[in-house]
Amino acid sequence: MKRSITLVALLATGLAAADFAGKWTGQMKAGGPTGPALFLTLRQKGNVVSGEIAFASEAHPVPLQDAALHGNSLTFHATDNFHRAVYFDLTLSGSGLRGDATMEGHTFKVALALPVAPGVYRVGGGVTAPRLLYKSEPQYTEEARQAKVQGTVRLKALVNPEGNATGIRVLQSLGLGLDEAAVRCVKDWKFKPGTKDGQAVTVEVEMEINFRLK
């Protein structure tokens, strides 16, 4: 079996299913530069997702209806401020939720992101990227081996000033225990931390762990 690890992106802003939980904010756009603000709160337990959405900063949140996960995608509908049904089809990609919203025959583009936590930085503007110093290899589970599952688990994590990965989230899932194997592995990795103005700081990274059978 061949396992390869790639540190693919460094951003600041995270198990069988990808982790959608959090407070997402963004906009619904209809071709113009601006659109209605969206405030989406998601709670997740395994493959079950619930939550609520508000269609403006001062609007009362309404519950999600028929929320369902499909791998890295989430579908649901909700009623907006004018009592219109809005149907969402969103995909978890990198650090954001992106996709379409359909309302009364019209389609809108949706882009949502999690807020950056205090003390977490993006690479650039004087912030350097963490550098991987030590890595262990994830192990195939017997279930995944028997099913001949191959592919990529994509993760997001915070590398703290001590060079440890914390707050690990699954962005792209393989299932059959491989997500958990990837997370356990990354927890053991050691990084040279990213810096801001020469001082070690917490920086978010994205990485891919590829599982391949010989």
Write the pLDDT tens digit of every residue in 7-42.
443 333 333 457 788 889 999 887 655 567 899 999
101 vs 142: CA distance, rounded Å: 40
Is 113:175 a contact under the CB 8 Å cutoff? no
Section 115-130 average pLDDT: 83
The answer to whether 169 and 156 are in contact (CB under 8 A) is yes
Closest CA to 187 of 161, 210, 169, 164: 164
Q: What is the mean pLDDT of residues 117-126?
A: 81
The confidence score (pLDDT) of residue 2 equals 45
- CATH 2.40.128.120 describes domain 22-113: yes
CA torsion sign for 162, 158, 180, 137 is negative
Enumerate residues 6+ apart whose C-beta is below 8 A from 87. Answer: 75, 76, 77, 101, 102, 103
The hierarchical CATH code for the domain 2-15+117-212 is 3.30.2420.10
pLDDT at 22: 87
pLDDT of residue 157: 92
List phi, psi (to 5°) of 47. -95, 10
Q: Where in the chain is the domain with CATH 3.30.2420.10?
A: 2-15+117-212
Query: Does residue 82 surpass a pLDDT of 50?
Result: yes
Under DSSP, is residue 117 helix (H, G, I), strand (E, B) or coil?
coil
Average pLDDT over residues 89-107: 88
Spatial separation of the C-alpha atoms in residues 160 and 156, rounded to whole Å: 13
pLDDT of residue 141: 93
Q: Average pLDDT, stretch 80-90? A: 94
Q: What residues contact residue 99 under an 8 Å CB cut-off, 6+ apart?
A: 73, 88, 89, 90, 91, 109, 110
103, 84 Cβ separation under 8 angstroms: yes
**Per-residue confidence band for 46, with pLDDT thresholds at 50, 70 and 90:** confident
Which CB contacts under 8 angstroms, 24+ apart, belong to 98-103? 99/73, 101/28
Q: Residues of CATH 2.40.128.120 domain(s) within the chain?
A: 22-113
First to last CA, the chain: 5
Looking at residue 109, its pLDDT comes to 93
User: What does the mean pLDDT of the chain come to?
Assistant: 86
Statement: residue 129 has pLDDT above 50: yes
Smallest CA-to-CA distance from 109 within 200, 36, 194, 210 is with: 36
Q: pLDDT value at position 95?
A: 66
